[in-house]
Amino acid sequence: MSLDPAAFRAGIATGRRIGTAMAALVVILVLATALAGCGSSGHVAQGIVTDITPNGPVKVARFTIRTTDGTALTFRVGTLELDGNAFPAEHLGEHRLTAQPVAVAYREEGGELVAYRLVDAPWVK
């Protein structure tokens, strides 16, 4: 039995496409898991923290991120989910100083964007 070289190359190309699709699926699943909350629904924004409005000496009331397309979004800090790899709002100061991107899960309430989950977003460039 002989192996047809064209069929062999086609099989490799198909394997590469499947591998690329699987890698994309893994990234999507990791992001969904990272931002999945306790049944909370909403939106997700990603970007660099540019401003923080404190509420007292250590609490954060509001913060602003600049998304990859240059849009500035300001969020009020709601009740944050802190399970998994989520972090408290006080950690945003470190992200602002180091320009490390964040992903923000949020809802729209009364015309405001209300953050309910914060995670590191190393995939944002």
The pLDDT, as a whole number, for residue 2 is: 60
CB atoms within 10 A of CB 121: 22
Q: Quote the DSSP letter at residue 117.
A: E
81-110 pLDDT, tens digit per residue, is 999 999 999 999 999 999 999 999 999 999
User: At residue 40, does pLDDT exceed 60?
Assistant: no
> Could you give all domains of the chain from N- to C-terminal order, each with its CATH number?
43-120 (2.40.50)
Residue identified by tokens 């086609």 is 10
The pLDDT, as a whole number, for residue 105 is: 97
Task: Give mean pLDDT, residues 31-35.
Answer: 48
Q: Is the pTM of this model over 0.85?
A: no
Average pLDDT, the chain: 81
Q: Which residues contact 109 (CB under 8 A, 6 or more apart)?
A: 78
The pLDDT, as a whole number, for residue 125 is: 76
The pLDDT, as a whole number, for residue 124 is: 86
Phi-psi region of 32 (alpha: psi -120 to 50; beta: other; left: phi over 0): alpha
The CA-atom distances, in angstroms, between 67 and each of 10, 30, 50, 112 are 40, 20, 10, 17
Rounded Cα distance between 3 and 118, Å, is: 53
